[in-house]
Amino acid sequence: MKVARTHGWLVALLVASGILGLQAADSAAQTANPRPSPGAPTLGRSAPGHATPVGVSDRGPQDQPVMDPAARAAAQDRKAQIKAIDEKIKSLRDQFKAQADPLQAQLKTLRDKLDTDLKPLEDQRKALIEQGESPALIALNQEEASRLASLADREKAEIEKLKQGFDDQRKEIQQDFQKRRQELGKK
């Protein structure tokens, strides 16, 4: 009873620390580089007095190819800011992982200890129950357990096959769009 209660508190603590870590990462990222509203174009300066629309994609800002040195400097500055933000995000994720890993190790240790303590008790309970049952009922229960185990094995295999199919489709889509990006870059 005490182990289960401790297990529950550790799970709650792990979840809370994860949420706090993600909130800290999000607020740090927003402080470092506030996001414009989706769909609103941002303006970059290609030359004094000339605003050039800059598209924003899931890979960061994408500007139109411009040979102007001022535009190149602005693009390099933007790339430096993106790199700095990426480094901050990585740092926050590493910090979260460093704090979460010991907690996860503790949870695993507690889970293993609980399983080790429960297994003999469950086996003993099952044996005592089976002593009072008829041989036909015991055989029926064993058959049910066997069929359920077989079904669980089939379920795992089919889920794995389905995941593999989606992974393959995801790779095909990514390759297709990568090829299209390369073709767009050649134009």
What is the 3-class SS of 56-104, one letter each residue? EECCEEEECCCCCHHHHHHHHHHHHHHHHHHHHHHHHHHHHHHHHHHHH
pLDDT at residue number 52: 43
First to last CA, the chain: 68
pTM here? 0.41
pLDDT digits (tens, 9 = 90+) for 10-26: 666 666 666 766 666 66
Query: Residues 28, 20: contact at Cβ < 8 Å?
Result: no
Question: In the prediction, which pLDDT does 131 show?
Answer: 87
pLDDT tens digits, 83-114: 999 999 999 999 999 999 999 999 999 999 99
Exposure string for 76-88, b = 16+ CB within 10 A, e = fewer: eebeeeeeeeeeb
Check residue 38 and give its pLDDT: 44
pLDDT over 90 for what percent of the chain? 52
